[in-house]
């Protein structure tokens, strides 16, 4: 599904909500707002997920709910938050900060690689980067984590 840029987010969410035996999903862009509207995810066997969860600048409260949905994927070994879009979006991404709900992902104990982009909003602002608190939390909660691809500071 990742190569098919025209697949709507609702279709991606239908797959997540109905495919119980799904183990690997490479999907495109979906909105955090759509995640919240859809029913619970049924894909509890999911081991690899590549997806781009968009969060608008005024929708920061939806991050907690999106992290809550991701927390149900307890068998997840690989999480890549990657966009199929090459343009600068007016939407931001799910921000991996404790204050935004990262702590809900403690159940993802099998996680090995984690990748997330630094996003620039259309107004030129950047999404917040990880701080030492987030790195320490990840190290203590995700003992199998071996790779983090993202931005720790403004320097890539």
Over residues 48-86, the pLDDT tens digits come to 999 988 888 778 789 999 999 999 999 999 999 876 554
Query: Which has more confidence, 129 or 40?
Result: 40
Q: Note the pLDDT of residue 57.
A: 75
Average pLDDT over every residue of 107-117: 91
Mean pLDDT over all residues of the chain? Answer: 82
pLDDT at residue 105 above 90?
Answer: yes
Q: Note the pLDDT of residue 6.
A: 61
User: Which two three-digit tokens encode residue 24?
Assistant: 């690997």
Strands (E) located in the chain: 24-31, 48-56, 78-81, 91-93, 113-115, 147-149
Least confident of 20-24, 99-103, 130-134, 143-147: 130-134
**Domain ranges across the chain:** 9-149
pLDDT at residue 153 above 80?
Answer: no
> Considering the entire predicted model, what is its pTM?
0.84
With a pLDDT cut of 70, the percent of the chain lying above it is 79
- Name the band, by pLDDT with cuts 50, 70 and 90, for residue 98: very high
Average pLDDT over every residue of 81-110: 78
The answer to whether the CB of 136 falls within 8 A of the CB of 102 is no
User: Which two three-digit tokens encode residue 58?
Assistant: 């005024």
User: Which two three-digit tokens encode residue 37?
Assistant: 């509207």
Cβ count near 7 (within 10 Å):
17
Count helices and strands (H / E) in the chain: 4, 6
């Amino acid at each position: 599904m990742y190569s098919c840029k025209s697949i709507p987010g609702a279709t991606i969410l239908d797959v997540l909500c109905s495919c119980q035996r799904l183990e690997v999903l490479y999907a495109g862009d979906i909105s955090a707002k759509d995640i919240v509207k859809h029913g619970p995810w049924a894909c509890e066997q999911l081991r690899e997920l590549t997806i781009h969860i968009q969060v608008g600048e005024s929708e920061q409260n939806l991050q907690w709910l999106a992290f809550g949905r991701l927390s149900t994927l307890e068998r997840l070994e690989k999480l890549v938050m990657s966009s199929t879009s090459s343009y600068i979006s007016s939407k931001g991404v799910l921000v991996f900060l404790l204050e935004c709900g990262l702590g809900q992902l403690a159940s993802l104990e099998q996680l090995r690689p984690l990748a997330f982009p630094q996003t620039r909003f259309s107004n030129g602002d950047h999404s917040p980067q990880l701080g030492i608190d987030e790195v320490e939390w990840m190290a203590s909660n995700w003992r199998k984590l071996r790779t983090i691809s993202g931005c720790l500071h403004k320097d890539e």
